Structure 1
């Protein structure tokens, strides 16, 4: 006789969509993060003194490795990959440090050497780092998720203005108008009753915005045909890496920041997808991050991490399937092998991406606010949230705040995400983990508890009842006695007996059992309070 069947519960992220929709949503992920993934190699390459052709090699390698890292993170193999819809790419957290290393005499080879060693160290500590999951309750994750969205908002604004401050048309009404049009298209398509169109609103808005820009002469596709059509990444194309102690130490700090940000992104997408995320899953995700970062300098690129803007795309579209992001990783991989396709995507005007980014990044912040709505503010959580978000906003609103601090402080706190994460974790430990010293009587930072009245208490009131001078008064102006539970029971029992004697059917409060009331006062000798039962 066959045993009972067992059905494995399907996780939200394991949903499989039709192949066409899978690649359409995957392309949407690529377009969302494309500007962010190609910016670091261009910035670092220019700082290292590389020419246009060499910078193009960095960009292609960046796309290639980002695609491989995304596939590893989403599909997963034993010990590697969180199996969540996370897009991987070159981390912005490393840009400032890598620029400093490249300009400090070591060039691009010292950059690759520092990334390689720091990634190995990050790989070794990833499992231990994942064990701090208990220090990431909703009061911490909500702060970090909110901060991810808020810190990305200036990126969307910069894209909307054109992305290049030195350009003559930077912040022109033409650029901002194009971004505004894209934003309106996203909102309009999101309102359409068709679910498929609504979920593809970002992609369709970017396509429509690009076509309009091309018709207006803003989008330039003239250089798409220049250069190679197909090219394989060449390992160590810029020569063997070199290793400098100072550069490596700086990059280790950056890797710690990346581990913090990736942990926050894993928790954020897990919250959005409504799926379970434990320390094992975080460790697998961090190991995938670091093994990709180890491979990155071999193929001429930099540290890899999860992209926060794509977390927002998961939230706004509701498409939680990790295989959609796997398809996006495949597209990145192809773009890395086919530079001509990369040039097509690169021709999308930044204002178009900026208009879409306003919705995307705002959605991330809204997801964080939704998480914070689950937090109980009767303790010290209010000050944790307030101080952490304000502290995280400092580098966002004042970029030069840490310029005169030691380099390692600037490395950690230059990112609003890492600033908020460090502050939220620290304050959560101080106020919620270490109870000693907390004010028992509350403090100015305690949120006032909500006023509530029990349902049964409301049901006992009648039309016209009101509270006056410390007394409950009915509609006729008579005082309604406020009694203890025991006095109420005795009075109700006497009322029942009087009704029985008079042959009248008594009215009982809802949920009151006649027999229980009479049994409770059988031996009670006390007088009934007041004249009202």
Structure 2
């Protein structure tokens, strides 16, 4: 519920209104708490996939720390692009940017087991993909027809399905522990379960800041539990703190620059998905916060900021950025539409990103504790995709498109050896499952004639028969018009 002590109802719905600073700063930090865990998690997952050691004495410790630091710093920078704007760049709306989960199915195969050597190609892809993403802003309004809920819902669902395995592996002990006696132990699972239980309890039985920060507080509870049961020695925390600098600036092209066809294609193709996600978030903020439709200028500016923020992050070793949907819901809940509130949160993120000791503390979170958090987060990604798919009219045409795309995409994720003879670049893109599924769905949606939905249909498995089962009432009256 909106706090009207901050301003009048009209002021609360105005993006240009500046609340009193003693109110704006806590509200801005609240936005950061809502996205903090989700923002740094992709960096930890990419580091784990690359084979980085997580111990404070590991030679990879500084690199992991740097990736976490850049995640915070450039989430703040990209958020400032959205709120303050530079020319046409930015929506001038309270849009919070953060590291995107959507690119993980592309990044994980690119870096798998290759260590620091894989980062030059990875960040080359981030840079070029970000510039391509920004260019989408020139024609974003003209391509929305090709990405209806059938396509976007499928893609978001596939992203979640590609990541749920990571959550289970982390909760059981982490990828390096697979095959060891400790992997899947009750002790490991107990830490993950503490996080899940506390998160769910706060989310559904509290309100305000406690509910908004449920995942973060759940992780803190799991962190304390891990210390109490001996999973996390105190000297590991102090060692990590001591080895982390008090202040550090980002380094341009720290890992070099390498042009990889697989990386560039993967990031450019995923940029379409990220751009459409941002369009949805901008529309949600304008509707939920200001009670109006988003303007073309706002959508275009948000897309520019999305892409340029990602490109800038790639230069300094940061991962792709996108708008964060959980903060859209926070705006609707608080009723505070001020972009200057989010600017305060962005400044806080930048300060955290310039202090590696913050990343040093984050790095000490046991992988099992993090697993409990990502199980919740990745499950929510799947749920969000299913929610988008609820807007689809499930006639025969749409069922066939979904079935073929899901079968191929999910099948390639589960059986990557099926394309082992493809060239390396093509194989990396195919085994993600995400890109082939999106490509099939987009092409079939554009190619298959609309009148397929109107034809009498043959029964399909389970007795379902396309439109006759899904699109009409028992009396034969159409329930809704097809939406493609």
Which category describes the TM-score, using the shorter chain as reference length? 0.7 to 0.9
Name the structure with the higher helix share: 2
Match of 2:156? 145
> What's the secondary structure of 2:38's corresponding residue?
helix
Q: Match for residue 30 of structure 1? A: 36
Secondary structure at 2:230's aligned position in 1?
coil
Relative to structure 1, the CA distance from residue 67 to residue 12 in structure 2 (aligned partners, 3 Å threshold; closer, same or farther) is closer
For residues 377 and 13 of structure 1, the distance between their equivalents in structure 2, rounded to whole angstroms, comes to: 42
Separation in structure 2 between the aligned mates of residue 184 and residue 278 of structure 1, nearest angstrom: 41
Separation in 2 of the partners of 1:95 and 1:125? 21
* Structure 1 position 257, deviation (Å): 2.4
The reply to whether residue 451 of structure 1 matches residue 457 of structure 2 is no
- Inter-CA distance 389–179: structure 2 relative to 1 (3 Å threshold): same
State whether residues 86 and 325 of structure 1, in contact with CA within 8 Å, keep that contact through their aligned partners in structure 2: no
> Secondary structure of 2:89's partner?
coil
1:210 deviation in Å?
1.3
Greater shift, 440-449 or 310-319, is seen at: 310-319
Structure 2 residue ranges without an equivalent (≥5):
1-9, 461-465, 478-484
2:482 alignment partner in structure 1: none
2:307 paired with 1:262: no
Task: After TM superposition, give the deviation of residue 70 of structure 1 in Å.
Answer: 3.6
Q: 1:356 to 1:302 in 2, by over 3 A?
A: closer
Structure 2 SS opposite 1:306 = strand
Q: Deviation at 1:230?
A: 0.9
1:380 to 378, 397, 402: 397
Q: Aligned to 2:228, which of 204, 212, 215?
A: 215
Q: Report the Cα offset of residue 264 of structure 1.
A: 4.4
User: Displacement, 1:316?
Assistant: 9.8
**What is the CA–CA distance in structure 2 between the aligned matches of 1:121 and 1:76, rounded to whole Å?**
19
Question: Residues 286 and 158 of structure 1: is their aligned pair in 2 closer, same or farther, counting only changes over 3 Å?
Answer: farther
Q: Is 2:43–2:67's contact at 8 Å kept on the other side of the alignment?
A: no
**CA offsets 1:437-480 (integer angstroms, 9 cap, x no match):** 7773334452424434599xxxxxxxxxxxxxxxxxxxxxxxxx
Q: Distance in 2 between matches of 1:44 and 1:74?
A: 34
286-295 or 181-190: bigger deviation? 286-295
Structure 2 CA distance for aligned equivalents of residues 313 and 395 of structure 1: 33
In 1, the alpha carbon distance for the partners of 2:105 and 2:16 equals 27
Q: By how many angstroms is 1:386 displaced?
A: 2.6
Instruction: Identify the residue that residue 422 of structure 2 maps to in structure 1.
Output: 405
Tell whether 2:188 aligns with 1:179.
no
SS in 2 for 1:221: helix
Q: CA deviation at 1:340?
A: 0.7
TM-score normalised over the length of structure 2: 0.74
CA pair 51-451 structure 1, distance change in 2 beyond 3 A: closer
How many angstroms apart in 1 are the aligned matches of 2:312 and 2:327?
27
Check whether the contact 2:192–2:371 (CA below 8 A) recurs between aligned residues: yes
TM-score by length of 1: 0.68
Q: Distance in 1 between matches of 2:378 and 2:123?
A: 31
Q: Which runs of structure 2 are paired with 1:363-442 in the superposition (5 Å)?
A: 363-431=380-448, 434-435=449-450, 440-442=455-457
**Bigger mean CA offset, 422-431 vs 20-29:** 20-29
Matched, 1:227 2:248: no
> Aligned pair in 2 of structure 1 residues 69, 419: CA closer, same or farther (>3 Å)?
farther
Deviations 1:226-270 (A, max 9, x none): 2311112233446xx566xxx354343123223133134325546
**Structure 1 residues 167-204: Cα deviation after superposition (integer angstroms, max 9, x where no partner):** 75333221112111211112222332544433332222
Please report how far the alpha carbon of residue 363 of structure 1 lies from its aligned counterpart in structure 2 after TM superposition.
2.5
CA distance in 2, matches of 1:64, 1:163: 26
> Distance between the aligned counterparts of 1:194 and 1:395, measured in 2?
42
Counterpart CA distance in 2 for 1:423 and 1:277 is 30
The alpha-carbon deviation at position 134 of structure 1 amounts to 0.9
* Between 420-429 and 264-273, the greater mean CA deviation after superposition: 264-273
Closer, same or farther: CA 418–77 of 1 in aligned 2, 3 Å: farther
Give the aligned partner of residue 161 of structure 1: 172
Task: Report which of the two structures shows the higher radius of gyration computed on alpha carbons.
Answer: 1
Instruction: Measure the CA separation in 2 of the matches of 1:78 and 1:399.
Output: 45
* Deviation (angstroms), 1:212: 1.4
Please tell me whether the aligned partners of residues 312 and 364 of structure 1 are also in contact (alpha carbons under 8 angstroms): no
Please state whether the residue corresponding to 2:393 is helix, strand or coil: coil
Deviations 1:3-23 (A, max 9, x none): xxxx79948999988632541
CA separation of 1:313 and 1:416: change in aligned 2, threshold 3 A: farther
Q: How far apart are 1:97 and its partner, in Å?
A: 7.0
Counterpart Cα distance in 1 of 2:63 and 2:386: 43
Q: Is the 8 A contact 2:129 2:268 kept in 1?
A: no
Q: Is the 8 A contact 2:192 2:372 kept in 1?
A: yes
1:80 aligned to 2:89?
yes
Instruction: Tell me the equivalent position of 2:6.
Output: none
